Structures are given as C-alpha cells and as structure tokens.
Amino acid sequence: MINKFVNLTIKENKETIRPVFPFTAIVGQEEMKLALILNVIDPKIGGVMIMGDRGTGKSTTIRAIADLLPKIEIIKDDVFNSHPSDVDLMSDENKKALQDGVNLTNSYINVPMVDLPLGATEDRVCGTIDIEKALTEGIKTFEPGLLAKANRGILYVDEVNLLDDHLVDILLDSAASGWNTVEREGISVRHPARFVLVGSGNPEEGELRPQLLDRFGMHAEIRTVKDPELRVQIVEQRTNFDQNPKKCIEDCQKTQNDLKQKIADAQLLLSSIAIDYDLRIKISQVCGELDVDGLRGDIVTNRAAKAYAAFNGKQTVKSSDISKVITLCLRHRLRKDPLETMDSGEKVQKVFDRYLNQKKFRQNDQAQ
C-alpha cells in the first residue's frame, strides 16, 4: 500500500512539474498536426499512425496535443473516467448506481494521456486481479489496466511497429468497439475504453502488418526538414524551451488558447456538418479505383472531411476539404506494389484530382 502511495505521489508531482512543449510552437510537420487535431475533434475517425524519421518531433507533438484539450467531467474517483450521464461512457457499476437513483458526485480532470511502454504485458494493458486484496482480504477484485486509464483520452504507443502483434490486436479491437472485456479467474469485467489511439514508429525498424495498419483511421508520414532556415528555427524553439520553459509557454499562451477554442467549437459544430451526395460518390469512386479493401476508407474519409470542415467553421463539406484529408485516410490502405514508382500519397491525390476535374468539366459543359 505504501509503495502504491509513493508511486502515485511521484507520478502526480512529475505531471505537475514537468512542462509540456506548446503545440503551436512546433514548426512544420503540418500533416501530423492536422491528423492529431482531426482525431481530437472526432475520435471516431479511429486514431492515427505516424511513421517517420528519427528525431522529427513525433513524441513531442503527440504529448503536446493533450495539453490543448479542455477538462472532461467524470464521476468522482472513478477509475474508468466514467461520464456522469452518457451510459456509453459509463462503467456497469456506475450505470447500476444511476439506475438505482444513487446521487453521484462529479469532478473535472485533464484529458488522460497514457503512454503504453513496449514491455507492457497483456494484464497491464487490459487489467487483472488485484493480488494484494486477494491475499490480505480474501476477495476477488479487478485492478484496472491502461485501457481503463485511457478511457475518454489519448493512448500513445511509441514504436508501435515493435509492439507484440497480440497487444496491437487488443488495442485496435478496444479502439474500434469502445469497450474492454476482461475474463480472469472467475471475474468478468466490462468497461468503456473510448480513446484516440496514436501510434508512432520508424519504418526502418519494421512495418506493421497490412491488416493492422488498415485499422488506424489515418496515416501521417513525417520527413526530416531539409530547409536550413526551418531547421535553425526548430533548434532555436527547442533551445528556448529547454532554457526557460515557463517563458516559452507564456509566449505561446494566446495562440494555444485560440487553437483550444477552435477545437472546442469544431467539436460542437461537428454533428451538424453535411456532406453532399455527389462528393460522397467521389470518395467511394476513388476508393474503388485504388482497390481499397473494405469500406473503412470510405467511412474514415467522410468523417475526416466533416471534422476538417468543422475545424474551419464551415457548415458543409467542400471538395477542397476532402482533398486536404483523403491522402491521410487512404495512403496506408493501398496494396503494396514493389514495382510502383509513385508514392502512395501522390497516387491517392492524383486519382482524386482526376475525378474532381471530371466533375468540373461536366459542370462547364452543362453551363454552356
């Protein structure tokens, strides 16, 4: 018990003392930043896989996005971060208490940001039996895992391409269903596990299996910045932050608040965004021509386009919104062709532009 208290205290102190690099101070890597913002606006997009060179700020950017999010309301002291009124985001125990008319106390917490280490076991991820209580009190109780802590937050897996396949399967299944079910030694526990799954990795260290890669909603590719002026700017930003984190955070406070408000507005606007039937047809035509397996590509592209339109304060999705997100949604779903000389992202954009131009030509002909 003492060890648990000490570990908790150390963790809390670390979280309060350790400064977070401001998201708006990150130079370049627009593709990665956009993918993260869209997933925060609509977590149902299905997470993002970020692959790129070493030392390109992947981890820094991912940890910075959580700092932009407003606090969430939970049932006080609930280990699953249960929502006070939404039963889909509530544990079975709290759901029953609510049905029985029990008054539940609410509180606000920062959006959870959970790091999943490479050496994590299945029990640590999913949860297991509380051995301490079993030995001292003789009762079987559930000890929540990382999926419980990440509910309604962000679950970050660095070097996801090196993670055991069965753990990746568990993460993706939970992210897709929104629930985690644990069967251990006569105990059956089911709890909500709604989180934005973010994975990062270096392609030189190995690729994910195609069927697993397909389960990530979006895929961002990161390259080392070549422009010397930008490189100097990045180095200066990082140096300034390391020397005086407080001043750096204060200097970015206005832009941080503006972006935070923009994301919050987009979350409220999202449900009212409409996408024209012709544009939905275009998305499916592109997916069909690119030979994308299944319908995940169609669904994710529609969701991402709506989120992007909401982020820019629009009521309806335009073709330019789709053009901005379709590469992120489809590039990792294409079948690998070792003889293909064109980059997968360029291929997606080229096919979409061709269908878009066909529509413009037809409109011009009708006008004439």
Output DSSP code: residue 44. Answer: G
Q: Measured between alpha carbons, how far is 321 from 304 in angstroms, rounded to an integer?
A: 9
Displacement of CA 5 from its chain's centroid (Å): 30
Helix (H, G, I), strand (E, B) or coil at 195: strand
Residue in the structure block whose two tokens are 């018990």? 1
In 165-291, where do the E strands start and end? Answer: 179-184, 187-192, 195-201, 218-222
First-to-last C-alpha distance (Å) of the chain: 80
Q: Radius of gyration of the chain from Cα atoms?
A: 22
Displacement of CA 328 from its chain's centroid (Å): 13
CB atoms within 10 A of CB 54: 9
In Å, what is the CA distance from 42 to each residue of 11, 222, 267, 270, 294?
A: 29, 22, 7, 8, 21
**Is 209 among the catalytic positions?**
no
Identify which of 66, 61, 60, 59 has the alpha carbon closest to the alpha carbon of residue 160. 59
* Parallel, antiparallel or unpaired: strands 218-222 and 48-52: parallel
Q: What is the DSSP string of 122-191?
A: HHHHHEEE-HHHHHHT----EEE-HHHHTTTEEEEEETGGGS-HHHHHHHHHHHHHSEEEEEETTEEEEE
- Candidate list 63, 152, 296, 303, residue with the active-site label: 296
Q: Measured between alpha carbons, how far is 247 from 360 in angstroms, rounded to an integer?
A: 50
In Å, what is the CA distance from 40 to each residue of 70, 122, 179, 235, 258?
A: 11, 26, 19, 28, 16
Q: Which two tokens stand for residue 92?
A: 């079975």
Cβ atoms of 200 and 62 within 8 Å: the answer is: yes
Q: Measured between alpha carbons, how far is 98 from 71 in angstroms, rounded to an integer?
A: 23
Catalytic residue set:
296
